[in-house]
Amino acid sequence: MRHGRISDVRTEPVYYTSLLKLSAEDIGDRLAAGAEEAARIAYAAAVGGSKVAQVVYGQMLLDGHGVARDLQAACRWFGIAAKAGDIDGINMLGRCHELGWGTVIDLDAARTCYQRAAAKNHHWAQFNLATLMLRDEGTPGAVATALTLLVRSARQGNAKAMNMIGRYREFGWSGPVNIPSAIRWYRRAAERGCFRGAAHFARFMLEQNRIDDAVSWYRRSAECAPVDFCRDLAAHLFKNRRSDLHAVARLALRRAAEGDAAEDLFAYGHALACGRGGPANVSEAAIWLARAQAKGFPGALALLDDISRQHALL
């Protein structure tokens, strides 16, 4: 399957020349028809030489959206776009080199890609280069240079860069500690959808005894954070004695369980069964614990039987 081409669709082929004759509305309608149709259109445009489509199709391959997930093909398409000078393609090729998506990890190659795109004011490349530089704290000037890149990225609206500036201000990575400034940066990040920024801002709201704000921002963080972060957030919030924070922790467990890992399925089922973070719901807990058991988590159903007997005695 060269370049991750879709070979199993049963509809008529899409040609780039035919796409050029369509109106924006017609293309929008076809894209809205479903993920597979969108992938077919992106592939046709990518083969036709559209740099934007090459990056879009590479992202689809990376995510498995509308086409089978293929990291090597994704990396090739990003490389094709990068070779043609597309800064999104250059940045995404850097991500492939940094994270080993479809190629070997090569931080020097990643750095080169980020530098090329950052020089053209690409805000994600600026952020990615900054975080890469922060790994090299021993390099003279790396921390200060990374901050400069983060500020440039933040000025273009990058919420993750805003969150990182908050970390700088909170811990004095480059200059004195400035907690009020850190809080402002975390809030800016949170308001723009950064789950880490939302959690950091909520933490300070809790310290200031602004409980409703803390609960609200922790909840917003849990609603949009990835599995690993939700797992850690739940553990953090359960350490607090407040029941309203425990309710958010249960939400975070639920979000983590959506990743379908056995330990997360068990943790959420356990919370439901024993009433942690909200009312007990043994019947729903049985569903999650059974899924954990099916994934090989030992003793999940035995625990449910235990808890059910205890509830029967109450």
DSSP letters, 48-92, are TT-HHHHHHHHHHHHHTSSS---HHHHHHHHHHHHHTT-HHHHHH
User: Alpha-carbon distance 95 to 84, whole Å?
Assistant: 17
Say what the pLDDT of residue 91 is. 98
pLDDT digits (tens, 9 = 90+) for 41-66: 889 889 988 898 899 999 999 999 99
Could you say which of 58, 84, 110 is where a domain stops?
A: 84
Residue 8: its pLDDT value, please?
A: 37
pTM of the model: 0.85
Q: Which residues of the chain have pLDDT under 70?
A: 1-32, 137-138, 308, 310-314
Longest dimension (CA), the chain: 72
Q: Is residue 137 part of a domain?
A: no
**Residue 209 placed within a domain:** no
Q: What is the DSSP letter of 3?
A: G
Q: What's the token pair of residue 224?
A: 């949009």
Q: Give the per-residue pLDDT at 34.
A: 83
Of the three residues 38, 65, 84, the one that is the final residue of a domain is 84
What confidence score (pLDDT) does residue 28 get? Answer: 61
pLDDT at residue 300 in the model? 82
What is the number of structural domains in the chain?
2
Looking at the domain assignment, is residue 39 inside a domain? Answer: yes
Residue 301 included in any domain: yes
- Rounded CA gap, 185 and 140, in Å? 26
* Confidence at residue 31, expressed as pLDDT on a 0 to 100 scale: 64
Task: Let me know if residue 18 belongs to a domain.
Answer: yes
Instruction: State residue 177's pLDDT score.
Output: 97
Q: What is d(CA 120, CA 222) in angstroms, rounded to the nearest whole number? A: 34
Residue 264 lies in a domain: yes
Residue 48 lies in a domain: yes
Query: Which of 49, 66, 84 is the last residue before a domain boundary?
Result: 84
The dihedral over CA atoms of 56, 98, 79, 65, expressed in degrees to the nearest 10, equals -30
- Domain range spanning residue 38? 1-84
Note the pLDDT of residue 37. 87
In a domain, 16, yes or no: yes
